[in-house]
């Protein structure tokens, strides 16, 4: 519960004053709120399909990756259908234990772009860093046309053992998200991307925060 509330507070502080959220809602305080919104339409990519040895990492031979890609002798089927992940500076698949990674993850050489083939109603992902390389992840979310900026969010990420969940819903649909580190030249590390095309009717940051916060408070009271 404490970690969930801390994540919620960190995101709220990071986006305070952002004026682009008229039709969008941050999903707080954790992934459980996203799962309840998307229900059975949730699709999750956990980045476990590429056979990276523990404590190792592999630079991929491509800078664009989707479910059809064959690279480094692996594929297709490395990603779930419906998304393309790209970084013009190259992609890296990280193994469990590589600089503290809790599981297999993916990162880019500069800015990591995630494109949804069909615009989604909501998505969420875990943001991580490499051990001892804390950063502030800049997350830019774009509308269904892949061009109109919904909002840019600064998310502090301190340690790979403490994933920062970021999620957002938009009634007008989301087409693309870009992730950039503000301290280091590579992108933030990404794990457990969840998305769904279901329209999410709940408007405003406050409603989702209240729903997630109330559930977290009930769990705390039971403990």
Residue pLDDT, tens place only, 86-109: 999 999 999 999 999 999 999 999
Distance CA 95, CA 56 (A): 5
Q: Residues 123-140: pLDDT tens digits?
A: 999 999 999 999 999 999
Beta strands in 50-110 (DSSP E): 57-59, 64-65, 83-86, 91-94, 105-108
Nearest to 129 by CA among 173, 181, 82, 176: 181
Q: Cβ neighbours of residue 208 under 8 Å, at least 6 residues apart? A: 25, 26, 27, 28, 33, 169, 202
Q: Which residue matches tokens 């490499």?
A: 130
pTM: 0.85
* pLDDT computed for residue 6 by the predictor: 52
Nearest to 190 by CA among 130, 118, 145: 130
Distance CA 221, CA 223 (A): 5
Q: Residues 150-180: pLDDT tens digits?
A: 999 999 999 998 899 999 999 899 999 999 9
Tokens read off for 43: 């699709």
Neighbours of 154 (CB within 10 A): 16
* pLDDT computed for residue 28 by the predictor: 82
Q: What is the residue extent of each domain of the chain? A: 2-222
Q: Which residue matches tokens 């979310």?
A: 141
Q: Where are the alpha helices (DSSP H) in 115-222?
A: 205-222
Q: Cβ neighbours of residue 16 under 8 Å, at least 6 residues apart? A: none
* CATH for the 2-222 domain, from 3.30.70, 1.10.260, 2.60.120, 2.40.10: 2.60.120
Cβ-contact 118, 150 below 8 angstroms: no
Nearest to 191 by CA among 161, 212, 146: 161
């Amino acid at each position: 519960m404490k970690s969930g509330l801390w994540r919620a507070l960190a995101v709220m502080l990071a986006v305070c004053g952002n004026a682009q959220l008229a039709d969008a809602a941050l999903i707080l305080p954790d992934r459980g709120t996203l799962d309840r919104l998307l229900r059975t339409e949730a699709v999750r990519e956990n980045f476990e399909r590429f056979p990276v040895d523990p404590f190792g990492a592999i630079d991929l031979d491509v800078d664009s990756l989707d479910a059809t890609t064959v690279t480094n002798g692996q594929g297709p089927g490395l990603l779930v259908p419906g998304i393309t992940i790209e970084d013009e500076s190259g992609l890296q698949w990280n193994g469990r234990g590589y600089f503290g990674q809790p599981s297999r993850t993916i990162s880019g050489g500069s800015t990591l772009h995630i494109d949804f083939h069909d615009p989604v109603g909501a998505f969420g992902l875990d943001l991580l860093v490499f051990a001892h390389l804390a950063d502030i992840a800049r997350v830019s979310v774009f509308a269904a046309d892949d061009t109109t900026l919904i909002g840019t969010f600064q998310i502090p990420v301190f340690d790979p053992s403490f994933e920062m969940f970021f999620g957002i819903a938009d009634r007008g649909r989301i087409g693309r998200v870009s992730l950039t580190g503000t301290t280091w030249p590579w992108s933030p590390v990404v794990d457990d991307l969840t998305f769904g095309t279901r329209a999410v009717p709940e408007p405003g940051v406050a409603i989702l925060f209240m729903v997630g916060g109330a559930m977290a408070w009930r769990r705390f009271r039971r403990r």
